[in-house]
A and B are shown apart, each in its own frame.
Chain A
Amino acid sequence: MKTLMLVALLASVVTSAGYAQDADSDVEAKILATEHMWGQAYVSKDPKALERILDDAFVNVDSDGILQTKAEVVAEVRTSTVVQFLTESMVVHLHGNTALVTGIFQLKGVDRGKPYAQRERFVDTWFHKNGQWVSIAGLVTRIGQ
């Protein structure tokens, strides 16, 4: 039920009749909401949410410099050990049908009984495609690295 609600919410937030008709603030709000859902997907282990959020050709570079495809990120979510995911200082930079989001995420989790915490900076690139915003690239880096 929780998953269904999340998917329904995601569909209503991400889908747009046309970004051109939306005020920039509306577009920014939609993208930020989707960023939050992305993080929550790790907590709820909800790969369906990410299937919609990420473009099929999405690529991510993690904080170890490892290149990940969409399939690899979705698999990571499926086996996630994250129990809390928070974002801070998120800023959206709009360039027409392309948007950049910078911010910091904090996550806490438990892996094989051992608690862990991470706080890292990210930059995501979004593109307005077929009426919805999808992420086409991302990069995560350790703060002060």
Chain B
Amino acid sequence: MVLVCATSLPGSGQKAGETDGATAVRVLEGERVKAQSHNDNQTLDLIFDNAVVYIENGQVISKGDYLLRVKSAKPQQQRIVLETMTVRTVENTAIVVGTYSKTDVQGGNSLLKRWRFVDTWVNKKGSWMLVAAAAVPLSK
């Protein structure tokens, strides 16, 4: 049902004053979008913590269900473009807040919707893992 295409990424390089951890997480957010766009479940499996809390459309979705959905996605059904992203690290934890637009294509019609998201990453044994991802549609 879901296919994500990254047509632009908001700054995958290190930003001034940003910690190495924040830069790593920023890059991983880009990798995540790329992996989704290519139905690359192996990469997503490495990025997502096994106990990831994934909230979409007000529902909690397990990692298994999410990966299954990405795997069965059909091309051109959905396109996501990251718009803004700020990363803040607190020791081994990173909070990412940003916005993205999502275009659903069905039966020749496309519907654009903008979302604000909050992702939480934790560095486990040297690897940053996505432990929570949630998004809310922007009302304006």
For A61, the chain B residues whose CB sits under 8 A away are: 97, 116-118, 134, 136
Which of A13-21, A39-47, A78-86, A91-99 lines the interface with chain B?
Answer: A91-99
Stretch at the interface among B14-22, B68-76, B87-95: B87-95
- The reply to whether B118 and A59 contact each other, CB–CB distance below 8 Å, is yes
User: At the interface with chain A, which of B24-32, B53-61, B101-109?
Assistant: B53-61
Cα-based distance from A98 to B134 in the complex (angstroms): 17
Q: What chain B residues lie within 8 Å of A102 (beta carbons)? A: 53, 55, 60
Question: How many Å lie between the Cα of A125 and that of B51 in the bound state?
Answer: 14
Main secondary structure on B side of the interface with A: strand
| A105 at the binding interface (Cβ < 8 Å) | no
**Which residue of A136, A138, A140 contacts B90 across the interface (Cβ within 8 Å)?**
A136
- Which of chain B's residues have a CB closer than 8 A to the CB of A140? 136
Q: What secondary structure prevails in chain A residues at the interface with B?
A: strand
Q: How large is the interface on A (under 10, 10 to 19, 20 to 34, 35 or more residues)?
A: 20 to 34
Residue interface bits A30-72, CB-to-B below 8 A is 1, else 0? 0000000000000000000000000101010111110100000
Residue total for B at the interface (Cβ-Cβ under 8 A): 31
Which B residues touch A96, using CB under 8 A?
Answer: 92, 122, 124
- CA–CA, A144 to B58, complex, Å? 5
Considering the chains assembled together, what is the distance between the CA atoms of A12 and B34 in angstroms?
46
Residue A100 is within 8 A (CB to CB) of chain B in the complex: yes
- Whole-angstrom CA separation of A129 from B50 in the bound complex: 25
Please determine whether A65 and B120 come into contact, CB atoms closer than 8 angstroms.
Answer: no
A137 at the interface (CB under 8 A from B): yes
Q: Say whether, besides A61-B116, A65-B137, A98-B92, A93 and B55 are in contact (CB < 8 Å).
A: no
Tell me whether A123 and B58 are in contact (CB under 8 A). no
Report A85-126 residues with CB < 8 Å from chain B CB: 93, 95-98, 100, 102, 120-121, 123, 125
CA distance A144 to B131 in the complex (A): 21
Cα–Cα distance between A127 and B134 once the two chains are bound (Å): 18
Q: Which residues of B contact A145 (CB under 8 A)?
A: 57-58, 136-137
- Counting from the closest, the 4 A-B pairs by CB-CB distance are A65-B138, A145-B58, A65-B116, A143-B58
Interface, chain A (partner B; CB < 8 A): 55, 57, 59, 61-65, 67, 93, 95-98, 100, 102, 120-121, 123, 125, 127, 129, 136-145
